[in-house]
Structure 1
Amino acid sequence: MKRIVVLLIILLSFNGFSGQAQSSTDVLKSMKEEHPRILLLKGEEQQILSQIKKHPEWNGVHQEILAECDKLLDTPPVERIKIGKRLLDKSRECLRRVFQLSYAYRTTRDEKYLRRAEKEMLAVSAFEDWNPTHFLDVAEMTMAVAIGYDWLYDGLTAEARTKIADAILKKGIEPSFEKKYSAFLNAEHNWNQVCNAGISFGALAIAETQPEIAANVIARAVATIPKAMIPSYEPDGAYPEGFSYWGYGTSFNVLFVSAVEKALGTDFGLLQSPGFLKTAGFFQNLVGPTGLAHNWGDSGLKEGLSPAMFWFAEKTKDPSLLWTQKKLLSAQTAGNVGNRILPALLIWGIKTNLDAVKPPSKKQWVGQGPSPVALMRTSWVGPSAIFVGLKTGSPAVNHAHMDIGSFVIDAQGERWAMDFGMQDYNSLETKGVDLWNRTQNSQRWEVFRLNNFAHNTLSFDGQLVNAKGYAKIDSWSDSKAEMMAVTDLSNLYKDQITAAKRGISILNEKWVVVRDEVNTADKAVKMRWNLLTGATVKVVDQKTVELSQNGKKMFILFVTEANIVIKTWPTTPTHDYDAPNPNTQFVGFEVTIPANTAEEFNAIFSQSTEIPKVKPLAAWK
């Protein structure tokens, strides 16, 4: 309760910044006086060095960082070269380098790492600006320089300290108080989390020389970051922007909370935000036994090691959250250094006993919110388990596609039903595509990968779904005999049909059943049932499709009284700005449903042609 009161006081007292400080330095009253104060205090390196002796996995990451830092010694610093409107890749590379070089210095005390980090920070501090028109660039650059300034403070030259601190203030913090750059303060998505975190790191780094400004920054962040945290995780922890943006927004949210906890001794009540401490379950369950994520929306297929997952495992005292992370650690693929916040994994994993990491007990995870999901599997052990991910929600959500009701399926170690995921933004923006407009007639929905015709869902008369429509997970069960989830998609097809419901079930740990129940209005409609796959497709007969890949087979058995016509469609892009989609195709069926008619369609994914009995959705319990 005390922490909630503290948060409310700050929320009520924060009035912004208008050339002079508006909030009290009481926010900083418990701040650690000496450097380093961000994430890892002086002397805490010894805990890491002790831990890496206990597990070869930890030592593998530690040695990988040191080897990468040795490679960086002769690498020129990043230059101010934008890609389109973004400097973001340079900011991220600077963060990756400085964080890892600073870590290397603190754990070895070898001055070569300190001097190389100092060189990187002086180079970016000399930039004309950090590109405030795309403020994520500023945020990540500020965080990079702040970590280096704080962690290496005692070893930096006096001249370097002055230049770096001035850059943090002038190029990082001050632009964040200009109205034309500060829209992130009201954002309900990752921009809020990333920008508040980055600028707050800068404030903590230079707080002893700029206490009033630093206090304002921290108070402002504590007051505004809930605008993203509450809608993003309430009620169950499902993150509305999907797998990759969870890795972005949530990781930076954790960086912020971890930084203020360490430097100021409080989380300001933020960890009581509904659903936040549950969200690690969402991220973990999105990954199938193939190692591929359910990559709906603007998302990629793989993320690699996630430092934030180690923070959540420690906070919740649930080591099972690290089941897949431990596998990634053990693999030692030598690609981990591409993660720009990799040292945080060792910081947050200090207390983790990897021997205590066991498979999760639950095989189904359901979350509501702006982008509800149902994620289910037959086992957490072995690559051959069946995995199904069902995505609902709305195209109106940030980074969303018209993929409501879409699904992915893994079985036999292969992905049979897939999602394209995102297309590189710059490739679309440079062609003039109106990418960030999510209204019904926006050009965004003409991008091949983003509309409903490219997803594993339904379309009627070749129309887009309702861009403001919404569906949730209406019912679900984790029964071993009939693990399932049901969603009502009717709102997505407003003025096209009267009702559409979809249920997906793993039946007896053997079949995956996708059942659709559709009711038409006063006119006949042509429905397309669509599946995207990377498998080779063979149409066996009027109700059977055979998928094959890597020597394995999967049948799709269509069971319906309707007169369906099985078809395949190419995934050839329709515009010059669309990304290519090699080695993929669509398969499914078309059917004309008469006016005022109710039809039922079952698609059964099976390794044989045996057909189970499927009940109406009303009987799914």
Structure 2
Amino acid sequence: MNRRHIFLLAFCIQVCLRLSAQDKPLTVTTKLPGHPRILLLSREEALLKRAVAADKTWSSVHQVILAECDRIVPTPPVERIQIGRRLLDKSREALRRIFFLSYAWRMTGQEKYRTRAEKELLAVSAFSDWNPSHFLDVAEMTLGVAIGYDWLYADLSEASRATIRDAILKKGIEPSLDPKNNSWLTATHNWNQVCNAGMAYGALAIYEDKPELARTVLNRAIESIVLPMDDYAPDGAYPEGYSYWGYGTSFNVLFISAIEKAFGQDFGLVQRPGFLKTAGYMTNMAGPSGMSFNYADAGKNPELQPALFWFANKARDPSLVWVERGRLLRGEAAANVSDRLLPSIMLWGAGMNVDKIPAPASTTWTGAGRNPVALMRTSWTDPAAIFVGIKGGTPSSNHAHMDAGSFVMEADGVRWAMDFGMQDYNSLESKGVDLWNRKQNSQRWEVYRYSNRVHNTLMVNDSLQRVDGFASLTGSSRNPLFQSATVNLSELYKGSLTSASRGIAIVDQAYVVVRDEIAAVASPARVRWTMLTGTDVKLIGKNRAELTKAGKKLIVEVQEPAGITLQTWTTNPPHSYDAPNPGTTLLGFELAMPAHTKDVLTVLLLTEKAVSQLKKPVLPLGDWLRK
């Protein structure tokens, strides 16, 4: 090769490297503010202080945070105590304390908060590691330590800075570069969102000391986090359900909010299909009682969702925080001091006039995607309103249960049809349960709360739903006199039924209809219809049951097939590792279907005011959209 060829080759390599660098979101020319640069820039506290002074609601939340900080101040720092495979509860508590105390320091300048935050930072920096084998632990710890380091930076001694900075690097960022720890980079679920957020915060915190490494980590995050974000398409329904929306989406918002503050742009992430729409999903997931449609691995107790204020501002739609408005006005911030992200509600919400937040315009919300869902109610302002949620989807989705076709229902302030939600993971893992294997015959589906046996759906021939099946949302109606949604469950019962469709509707804003249209295969099928309830159940006829709670009443009536006998089943679980389920009952019936036959199951859920009301004929599901 002659000298000219060598020169041309070297020139081409330089151009390619330069183009490659330019293709990255962040380059060597990217500018970054000084500390503090994460979420709240220097002197932005003044805006928050004005909002606190001008609005009693935000003043109340602010005081709740300060009061909790005063409680934290005399407590010892967290210790490295691992529970099973997780250090996560310690990481979360450290994040909570550091975030709260750092906020209090920046807003008040009181030395007690800075001193206590520094003490926590140094304590966790001294841990042997942050448990990289379960990387969520590292991610949340890194995020918390990064906030503390950044927000206290100017007031930390150089020795403290060095210790904390080294911990962020050695115990946070560097383990994320090891392939054995970073499979989350290709995940499409909350691990990707949480871990990328944690590593990005670490990179932002130590950017000036390790600029090339920091850019690598941040570019990696910007490019990787689109994977779970793509699962919000097309309508915003979050595949992992209510609780994991509160986890994955909140950390996704923390990530976007931080890079917007630091770099003045979001690199196109906010406009990913379905992402801004997901706030509508979360708002509509709460019933009039405040309880959520807690399908999949969701907890029972709903929490304040600070991230919804970020969405409301981005979408310029304050109705997206209608549910959070109610929680704030009821003073629920004080009950949410265990929420490690609570200070972020001040960053994203303070300044919004809570008293003037309007109710959403629509009482129906539907979302397609990996876990389709339909959510309907008769009113946003009436606490006695009827609320119904139904889902499709697949058991193969992350954190899913065998609950395709399942529904919840509220009326008169009572959750009549309920879902157990999740069981504590460690209570199962510590007893050797193979919890995370989602294959058809895995032990996961032997856990009592996880199979279709105790969800408000169908069980055929005492068999599980098909893990490889998918239930699509096939139609919906916003007609106020017939709000409805239908799902095709056929794939979930392949081999037992040739077809299965379910529809659920709120009729005349007075009662609910659940209709199933099913067809048996070339062999007989035994179909069980169930509804889980936490109410007192009294059978008052072959096809009728009376449910009572808190002085309220609901009648469950089977219209079709004729001759059906309602019955109840205990919810005492079969295994020692299963959680107990006191105060709950399974109500339903069984149907024997000869081979090659079709049948219709029609059940009415009648509120007290609807019991004596003339009921409309229930049409075939194919005619529902014409109503």
Give 1:206's aligned residue. 206
Q: What pairs up with 1:479-494 in 2 under 5 angstroms?
A: 479-494=479-494
CA separation in 2, counterparts of 1:292 and 1:28?
49
Question: What is the aligned partner in structure 2 of residue 158 from structure 1?
Answer: 158
Which amino acid in structure 2 is aligned with residue 250 of structure 1? T
Give, in angstroms, the shift of residue 338 of structure 1: 1.1
- What amino acid does structure 1 have at the position aligned with 2:30? K
Letter in 2 for 1:184: W
The one-letter code of the counterpart of 1:135 is F
AA of the residue aligned to 1:575: H
Matches within 5 A, 1:590-609: 590-606=590-606, 607=608, 608=611
**SS at structure 2 position matched to 1:272:** coil
Tell me how far apart the structure 1 counterparts of residues 403 and 103 of structure 2 sit (CA, whole Å).
Answer: 42
Question: Which segments of 5 or more consecutive residues in structure 1 lack a partner in the other structure?
Answer: 1-8, 16-21
| Pairwise CA distance, 1:14 | 8.3
Alignment correspondent of 1:18 = none
Structure-1 separation of matches of 2:538 and 2:186: 51
Cα displacement (A) at 1:198: 0.4
- 1:28 deviates by 6.6
Return closer, same or farther for 1:25/1:491 CA change in 2, 3 Å cut-off. Answer: closer
Partner of 2:320: 321
- Asked if 1:471 corresponds to 2:471, the answer is yes
Equivalent residue for 2:176?
176
State the match for 1:149 in structure 2.
149
Structure 2 regions of 5+ residues with no counterpart? Answer: 1-15
TM-score calculated relative to the size of structure 1: 0.95
Q: CA deviation at 1:428?
A: 0.3
* Counterpart residue number, 2:617: 613
Deviates more, 1:265-274 or 1:328-337: 328-337
Equivalent-residue separation in structure 2 for 1:314 and 1:353 (angstroms): 12
Give the C-alpha shift of residue 379 in structure 1: 0.1
User: Which residue is 2:392 aligned to?
Assistant: 392
Name the aligned partner's letter for residue 100 of structure 2.
Q
Write out per-residue CA displacement over residues 447-469 of structure 1, whole angstroms, 9 at most, x where no aligned residue.
00000001000011101110111
Q: Deviations over 1:9-58 (max 9, x none)?
A: 99x9589xxxxxx97961671211x1100000010001111001221110
Residues 194-239 of structure 1, C-alpha deviations (whole Å, 9 max, x = no match): 00000100000000011000000000001100011102x0100000
Deviations 1:340-381 (A, max 9, x none): 011111011134222330110100000011110000000000
Q: Which one-letter code corresponds to 2:569 in the other structure?
A: W
CA contact 1:244–1:298 (8 Å) conserved in 2 = yes
Whether contact under 8 Å (1:310, 1:345) holds in the other structure is: yes
Match of 1:461 in 2: 461
| Contact 1:14-1:223 within 8 A present in 2 as well | no
The residue that corresponds to 1:6 in the other structure is none
User: Partner residue of 1:264?
Assistant: 263
Q: Is the 8 A contact 1:458 1:528 kept in 2?
A: yes
Structure 2 counterpart SS, 1:505: strand
**Deviation at residue 149 of structure 1 after TM alignment:** 0.3
Q: Which amino acid aligns with 2:323?
A: T
**Equivalent pairs, count:** 604
Cα offset, 1:482, TM superposition: 0.6
CA deviation map 1:366-412 (0-9, x unaligned): 00111100000000002100000001100000000000000000000
> Does structure 2 retain, via aligned residues, the 8 Å contact 1:14–1:219?
no
- The residue type paired with residue 447 of structure 1 is V
Contact 1:456 1:530 in 2 (8 A): yes
Which residue of 1 is the match for residue 124 of structure 2? 124
CA distance in 2, matches of 1:609, 1:531: 23
Determine helix, strand or coil for the equivalent of 2:449: coil
Aligned positions of 1:5-44 closer than 5 A: 13=20, 26=27, 29-32=30-33, 34-44=34-44
Q: Does 2:92 align with 1:92? A: yes
Aligned positions of 1:404-443 closer than 5 A: 404-443=404-443
**Cα pair 1:27 1:218 within 8 Å, conserved:** no
> 1:125/1:349 Cα in 2 relative to 1: closer, same or farther (>3 Å)?
same
Decide whether the 8 Å contact of 2:58 with 2:350 is kept in 1.
Answer: no
Aligned residue number for residue 284 of structure 1: 283
Q: CA deviation at 1:562?
A: 4.3
TM-score, length-scaled by structure 2: 0.94
Secondary structure in structure 1 of the residue aligned to 2:71: helix
Letter matched to residue 617 of structure 1: L
Kindly indicate whether the alpha-carbon contact (under 8 Å) linking 2:298 and 2:422 is maintained by their aligned counterparts in 1.
yes
Match of 2:10 in 1: none
What secondary structure does 2:74 align onto? Answer: coil
Is the Cα contact below 8 Å between 1:394 and 1:469 reproduced in 2? yes
Partner SS for 2:426:
helix
Name the residue aligned to 1:19.
none
Distance 1:549 1:418 in 2: 13
Q: Distance in 2 between matches of 1:414 and 1:452?
A: 23
Is contact 1:25-1:211 (8 Å) kept?
A: no
Structure 1 pair 25–554 and aligned structure 2 pair: CA distance change class (3 A): closer
Aligned partners of 1:272 and 1:200: how far apart in 2?
Answer: 20
Shift in CA distance, 581/56, structure 1 to aligned 2, threshold 3 Å: same
Shift of 1:335: 1.6
Instruction: Report the Cα distance in structure 1 between the residues aligned to 2:601 and 2:182, rounded to whole angstroms.
Output: 50
Name the CA distance, whole Å, in 2 between partners of 1:14 and 1:520. Answer: 60
Aligned to 1:363: 363
**One-letter amino acid of the counterpart of residue 353, structure 1:** N
For residues 21 and 129 of structure 2, the distance between their equivalents in structure 1, rounded to whole angstroms, comes to 27
Kindly, what percent of the aligned residue pairs are identical? Answer: 54
| Cα separation, 2, equivalents of 1:476 and 1:454 | 26
Matched with 1:241 is 240
- Contact 1:184–1:195, Cα closer than 8 Å, also in 2: yes
Over the aligned positions, Cα root-mean-square deviation in angstroms equals 1.6
Q: Is the 8 A contact 2:234 2:273 kept in 1?
A: yes
Distance 2:390 2:29 in 1: 45
Aligned ranges 1:345-364 → 2 under 5 Å = 345-364=345-364
Determine helix, strand or coil for the equivalent of 1:498: strand
SS at match of 1:338: coil
2: distance between equivalents of 1:95 and 1:24?
Answer: 28
Equivalent residues of 1:25, 1:212 under 8 A apart: no
SS in 2 for 1:144: helix
